[in-house]
Structure 1
Amino acid sequence: MNHETRLYLAAHPFAYPLMRLLARLGPVVRVPGLGVVVNDAATARRVLMDQRFRKDGPGSPGDLWTPVLGPSVLLNMEGEAHAALRAKLAPLFTPASVAALVSDVLAGPLKDLEVRLAAGERVDLVDTMRLMAGAVICRVIGLGEVPEERARALFADGERVVSMVSLRTRGLNPRQVAVAREVLDGIGDIASAAYLAGDPATVMGRMSELGLSEAEARGAAGAFFLTGTETVATFVPRLIALMHDHGAQDADLDRAIEDAMRVTTPTPVMLRSVSVATKVGNIDVRPGDRVVIVTHNCARAYGPFDPSMKHPTELRRLWFGAGPHFCIGYPLALAEIRAVARVLLDHRVRVVGRRAARGVLIPTYSELWVRK
């Protein structure tokens, strides 16, 4: 059994074997009590590109996040309102903008990492990434430069909310909603203060400058907080472990990142709600039906980690979505990943210890120790 499979089994000991079993049942299969399950990349992409499959209907992500974030964030919007909000936010996530932000925020932490590696220290990459991802999201929501303790605490808050969700979760119960609102109201208050200050050097200040309302800025901050921290923090240790385990430290970094994302699948499952009677593959679906895209099955059908593999069109970055809902924060995530991975690979780190995390939504390591 490889390390990636161990991570999934540690995180989802019952759901993961079921998920892999579903892959054997065909490209599209109706599962009573679950929905119409998609295991094929080409079919998944067609669903994600089709406006008849929505994020705001029954059984969709809206059921999870609308009670917490409200109805007007990119995670649960459709149509013209979604397109308009996305257009307002897009200038904040150009490659140049995010590269400058990451370079500024991570200059100190990356220098510290270089010094520790050069000295031959053992470094827990999981803890390191919590700090770095926390620092970046602090800057995005409007906190500016913060001490390490604050960055780690903010990351822990996000982890507390995301850990309420499993692969089987359809909605949050009232207690979970209350806890999530408490955390996200605090994030919203920070974002509002930065928005009202209006400093164009900050992300929230630029939102004001770009014409977003205060409510839109608060919602965006909450959505970025939920989706942007754990994705990066969990991925970098898995990327370095994959490159180490496959002897691929000299592979092209961008190709290695792309294929490691395929193997790790940052979003292992995506949900959509059917709004108009149609077909998914050869299966008839009706309004209100739930479509479960098992992104992990779609991606893993193309084999084990291989940085030399060219991804076919239907697969390309499917784990970040497709069409109007392709992840707007992808350039920021990629900039963070590149910045940290370059330092680690420049120092030719090797994995000297690891432990899988349990009870998490995104499979990851609880510890991954590296040394030059």
Structure 2
Amino acid sequence: MTAWEERVQTGAHPVAYRMMRLIANSGPVRRVPRVGVVVSDPVLARGVLMDSDTFTKTGPGSPADLWTPVLGPSVLLNMEGDAHSRLRRKLSGLFTPGYVRDLCERVLTLPLAHLREDLAAGREVDLVQVVRDCAGAVICELVGLPADRVAEAYARGTAITSMVRLGRPRLTDRQIRHARTELGGLTEPAIRAYRSGDPATVPGRMRELGLTEEEAHGAVGAFVLTGTETLVSYLPRLVALCHDTGVSITESNLDSVVAEGLRYTVPSPVMLRSVVRDGSVGGVAVRAGDRVVIATLFCARGRSPFDPSQPADPDVRQLWFGAGTHFCLGAPLARAEIDGVLRALMAGRVEITSRTVARRVLIPGYSRLMIRSV
């Protein structure tokens, strides 16, 4: 691991990261008191993700335990079985390549033009703030907020995710009330857009695809919470990794750089499942009610350094987006946002002039990454 990536991880989780690293180094599967059954092997992790009959997103210690009190019951990330399949089919037409391309062109053209202009003029740019503005602009488009409320949209989303802790399987009653208030400020415009039925808006498009108002409300909330902070973590870290290892991003290597960056940074470093029937993982017995913690960071990164020129390991391919029926539905939108920012940076070579690691945040990252053209 590069020295700066180590600082990013320990800055976010000074105790939990070191603990998870020790657990991962001790073996592919370990039962850890007050944490759960920790899986650090990519093949075993994929097996858990693919076996939704034994390991689910509902139940004690699962994402449902964490998010249902905030988002409601009809959200993909807290559903299983036929209900999950029906909702996923309805949403499958939402982020088509053409729609994602048009959405990003609408909302990202202006901020990315400003980025190019600032770099061309020799000005220093905080890449974290640029990506935050881009992510906020996409949130505004998703929920129907005016574009001038980008900062508010991002702040409300991170106010909710910042309350999550690995060692605590659910939010407190006070945190739930606060999270609902923050989320309500984002989703009220989405409900109005849904009721108006305008297919030019994302909520209106959800109505056109057959989602109920409750389903659309939950889906918007889930997209806001899962697709913003991860992007703001990933892009500056990728640019920093390329800078620190001497990798130039070009049109010809864009796909491999993005994939290798995702493997190495893993913006979603942990995935949770609840055991619903007795079984085993890698020879370790699991019982109904157990919590399984998939240490995605250590599954995907392993002991391989960041190197986009090497062939991708099929065992870890896109593991950071999940697997099986819960593979990330918003992956096409995330990729479009990533490509937009990276192509804006391709116009010239950039260097990092200063950086600051984010402290005690849910998703490891930089709080500031200053760049300029050279």
TM-score by length of structure 2 reads 0.96
**1:159-195 deviation per Cα after TM superposition (whole angstroms, max 9, x unaligned):** 1111111232311111111110001122221111011
Deviations 1:81-106 (A, max 9, x none): 01111111111112221111111111
Residue 248 of structure 1 corresponds to which residue in structure 2?
Answer: 247
Q: Partner residue of 1:167?
A: 166
The corresponding residue for 1:104 is: 106
Give the deviation of 1:250 after TM superposition: 4.0
- Aligned to 2:225, what secondary structure does the other structure show? helix
Is the partner of 1:75 in helix, strand or coil? Answer: helix
In the superposition, the TM-score normalised over structure 1's length comes to 0.97
SS in 1 for 2:355: strand
Name 2:72's counterpart in structure 1.
70
C-alpha separation between the residues in 2 aligned to 1:91 and 1:222?
18
| 8 Å CA contact retained: 2:118, 2:125 | yes
Q: Distance in 2 between matches of 1:33 and 1:60?
A: 14
- Counterpart for residue 43 of structure 1: 44
Q: 1:322 maps to what in 2? A: 323
Question: Of the candidates 132, 136, 144, which is equivalent to residue 130 of structure 1?
Answer: 132
The CA distance in 1 between the partners of 2:166 and 2:305, in whole Å, is 23
How many Å apart are 1:80 and its aligned residue? 0.6
Secondary structure of the structure 1 residue equivalent to 2:363 = coil
In 2, Cα distance between equivalents of 1:140 and 1:347:
31
Question: Cα RMSD over matched residues?
Answer: 1.1
Partner of 1:178: 177
Match of 2:96 in 1: 94
Which portions of structure 1, spanning 4 or more consecutive aligned residues, are displaced by more than 6 angstroms? none
For residues 254-293 of structure 1, the aligned pairs below 5 Å read 254-293=255-294
Instruction: Give 2:32's aligned residue.
Output: 31
Structure 2 counterpart of 1:59, from 61, 71, 81? 61
Alignment correspondent of 1:233: 232
Residue 128 of structure 2 aligns to a residue in which SS? Answer: helix
Alignment of 1:293-332 (within 5 A): 293-332=294-333
User: Which structure 1 segments of 5+ residues have no match?
Assistant: none
Do 2:75 and 2:219's aligned partners in 1 also have CA atoms closer than 8 Å? Answer: yes
Query: Could you tell me how far apart the structure 2 residues matched to 1:188 and 1:105 are?
Result: 19
Report the CA distance between 1:217 and its aligned residue: 0.7
How far did 1:137 drift?
Answer: 1.2
Q: Which amino acid aligns with 1:106?
A: L
Query: For 1:58 and 1:30, how far apart are their aligned partners in 2?
Result: 16
State the identity as a percent: 55
State how far apart, in whole Å, the 2-side matches of 1:157 and 1:41 are: 33
**Distance (whole Å) between structure 2 residues aligned to residue 16 and residue 345 of structure 1:** 33
Where structure 2 has 5 or more consecutive residues not aligned to the other structure, the ranges are: none
Task: Tell me the equivalent position of 2:8.
Answer: 7
CA displacement 1:244-283 (0-9 Å, x = unmatched): 1111114511111111111111111111011111111101
CA distance in 2, matches of 1:32, 1:198: 49
1:302 & 1:96 partners in 2: Cα distance?
Answer: 38
Contact 2:249 2:257 in 1 (8 A): no
Partner AA of 2:143 in structure 1: I
Alignment partners' CA distance in 2, 1:32 and 1:363? 24
Give the Cα–Cα distance (whole angstroms) in 1 for the partners of residues 168 and 304 of structure 2: 28
> Which residue identity lines up with residue 172 of structure 2 in the other structure?
N
* Contact kept in structure 1, 2:243 and 2:351, CA below 8 Å: yes
Deviations 1:26-45 (A, max 9, x none): 11111122211101000000
In the alignment of these two chains, the number of paired residues is: 369
- 3-state SS of the aligned residue for 1:24? helix
